Amino acid sequence: MRPFLLATLLVSTAAQATAPWQDEAAAQIPPFAEHLLGTVRQAVTDGGPIAAVQACQALAPQIASEHSHQAWQLGRTSLKVRNPDNTPDAWERSVLERFAEAAIAGTPVKELRYGEEVDGEYRYMQAIAVGEPCMACHGTAIKAEVQEAIDQYYPHDQARSYQIGELRGAFTLTRPLAQETQ
């Protein structure tokens, strides 16, 4: 019994130690998501969807680094990436695969999130669902000229043919476990 009890206690202590990070991680996401969506909407309004593809290409990585502060690294990833720089690592891939299974089993994509301690860091992912504003560039009926612009910047694009409500990918966040921020 004893080793089992000890293991249980250790697990719950670790869970308690990282639990505060989960809320802090979740709080990093809305400003990042709104900045991305606001930028894409503005670019569509100003110049149409082709200009918006260019804006995404130029600005998405910059917006991610602007929101990476107080020890948190923010990014986006997917099982089907547009930008190869967003390819998931092994941990992200396994979380995305579990999100995909849960979504198929009927869990609403918006509810999918997961955080844990991995090699001295706290890592957190929150699923991203496809919505109406995403369809112009990730949907099933992308205009020919928009497809051309995507092909030009992302010759290996895999992020098309999504339906509304599907799992598009996830926000991915990492921070060191130690208290000090750098």
Dihedrals φ, ψ of 115, to 5°?
Answer: -135, 145
Q: Does 67 bind ligand HEC (CB under 6 A)?
A: no
Q: Would you count residue 173 as binding ligand HEC (CB under 6 A)?
A: no
Per-position x/- string for 12-51, each x denoting binding to ligand HEC as judged by CB under 6 A, each - no binding: -------------------------x--x--------x--
Backbone phi and psi for residue 26, each to the nearest 5 degrees, phi listed first: -60, -35
- Cβ-in-10-Å burial (0-12, 13-18, 19+) of 112 comes to buried
Cβ neighbours around 106 below 10 Å, total: 6
Tell which positions 145-164 bind ligand HEC, by CB under 6 A.
159
Helix (H) or strand (E) holding 158: none
The residue within the footprint of ligand HEC, chosen from 79, 81, 95, 109 (CB under 6 A), is 81
Q: What gap in Å lies between CA 20 and CA 121, rounded to an integer?
A: 14
CA angle, 65 then 157 then 122, to 5°: 35
Q: Measured from the CB of residue 170, what is the shortest distance to ligand HEC in angstroms?
A: 7
Is 83 a binding residue for ligand HEC by CB under 6 A? The answer is yes
Which of 21, 72, 82, 172: binder of ligand HEC (CB under 6 A)?
A: 82
Residues lying near ligand HEC in the complex (CB under 6 A) are found at 37, 40, 49, 52-53, 56-57, 60-61, 76, 78, 81-83, 86, 128, 130-131, 133-134, 136-138, 159, 168-169
